[in-house]
Amino acid sequence: MLDTDIAARLRRTDDGLIAAVVREHGTGEVLMLAWMDDEALRRTLATGHATYWSRSRNEYWVKGETSGHRQYVRAAALDCDGDALLLTVEQVGPACHTGTHSCFTDELTVRPGVPA
């Protein structure tokens, strides 16, 4: 079971999940967003291997288990509201299933905001 102190701080979605933002150790580049439940978080903290919950397949997956593109977790942090995690990882190979280093490759045009 997940440590009770950690579990008590989590604010999960209605389906029991919490968003995990993944960034690269060293560069700080945001690589991907994934989902975890208590068990995925417990496994990640216990093993140092990023483990997520696949919403489409309804199963756990260890990042890189089949592709070899592993994520070795170097740090984990919970945000102030308890509804998001930040994982800092050593990424081996691409993080995105499309083969890109980061899942965030489609830049959008933003009109610069004006301070109020």
The pLDDT value recorded for residue 78 is: 96
CA dist 80 and 90 (Å) reads 24
Listed residue (9, 8, 2) closest to 78, CA to CA = 9
Q: What is the pLDDT of residues 55-97, one digit of tens each?
A: 999 999 999 888 889 999 999 999 999 999 999 999 999 999 9
Compute CA 26 distance to the chain's CA centroid, rounded to the nearest angstrom.
16
The pLDDT value recorded for residue 105 is: 94
The pLDDT mean for the chain works out to: 95
Share of the chain above pLDDT 90, in %: 90
Is the pLDDT score of 116 beyond 90?
no
The pLDDT value recorded for residue 66 is: 86
